[in-house]
Chain A
Amino acid sequence: MTLELFRIDDRLIHGQVVVGWGQPCELGFLVLVDDEVATSEWEQELYRMGVPPEMGIYFDSVESAARRLADYRADRRTGMLLTGDIGTMQRLVATAGGIRSVTIGGIHHKPGRTAHERYVYLTDEEEAQLRALAATGVTVSAQDVPQAAAMPLEELLAQDGAS
């Protein structure tokens, strides 16, 4: 298998990732791409604690993730790469190249954001970032759990409300 899933999720590593995706997809490793976490032992330990011992976890900055992406892709296990925001994924896609699809797993409410799904709230700037990402040829969709159908970006953005 390989690094198959590229997910934007402001909770980064949490139950939905480790259990919801981890068990049915038999994830063997996670790659957490965050410039701040990549330089903080404490933050890394925090996330490491939530990951079962049989699942690998790697911490990268955007720069180091782009450099190591080929190694992750060559990994025989199935992997998921996570960023906590759209901008980080956008930088990774631009730096690394070859990322064909990105899934929005969770961007939660904060002031200034509008609901598009119960787990996706976006500012105008974030909408523009996603459109820009899609314009580079990346397939962008929203899907919180494996049992849900992936929702294409245009459908997501056309939706108004968190119902």
Chain B
Amino acid sequence: MSDGPKAIVAGHGTFAEGIRSAVEQISGRGDCFITISNSGLAPGDIEAKLREAVASTGARIIFTDLPAGSCTLAARRVQRDTPGLIVVTGAALPTILSYACGGDLAKAAEQGRDALTVIEAPRDP
């Protein structure tokens, strides 16, 4: 699985690098991902970075953090003229880690959805 980048993680601030770092710490597969931040970038520059990353690595999946985010909009513009490119938005560590370890995107998405849990405060004894 770790023979070079195969997916892109893009998002706000240091989201992408944080995800890559966490995947590396947990599984040693952080090099599955190349990371892009939208910080300080105009929409056209985000799109250009994504296009360059897709072209240079052959990645066919882009994970983004927020459906409304500028990385997601840019990714969809790239997707429009890149056959076979998949965009996964709303992605967090459970999904991306699962993908890094198993390579099954559908399963990774399901595990990501299942992982979101609100743990209520315990009642007073």
Contact = CB atoms under 8 A, between A and B. Distances in A.
Interface residues of A, number: 21
Interface in B67-115: 67-70, 72-73, 76-77, 80
A50 B73 contact: yes
Interface stretch (B25-33, B40-48, B55-63, B116-124): B40-48
Given A46-B77, A50-B73, A17 B68 contact: yes
B40 A19 contact: no
B22 interface: no
Contact of A15 (B43, B45, B69): B69
A42 B73 CA distance: 12
Contact of A11 (B43, B66, B67, B76): B43
A100 interface: no
Contact of B68 (A18, A110, A119): A18
How many chain B residues sit at the interface, stated as a range, is 10 to 19
Nearest to A14: B70
Given A15-B68, A49-B67, A10 B42 contact: yes
A118 B12 CA distance: 15
B42 A50 contact: no
Interface string A49-60: 111000000000
B12 A15 contact: yes
Contacts of A17: 68
Interface in B4-26: 12
Contacts of A12: 43
A15 B66 contact: yes
Interface in A103-135: 108-110, 118-119
B76 A14 contact: no
Given A13-B68, A49-B76, A109-B40, 13 more contacts: A11-B70, A14-B70, A14-B73, A15-B12, A46-B73, A49-B67, A50-B66, A50-B72, A50-B73, A51-B68, A108-B40, A108-B42, A109-B41
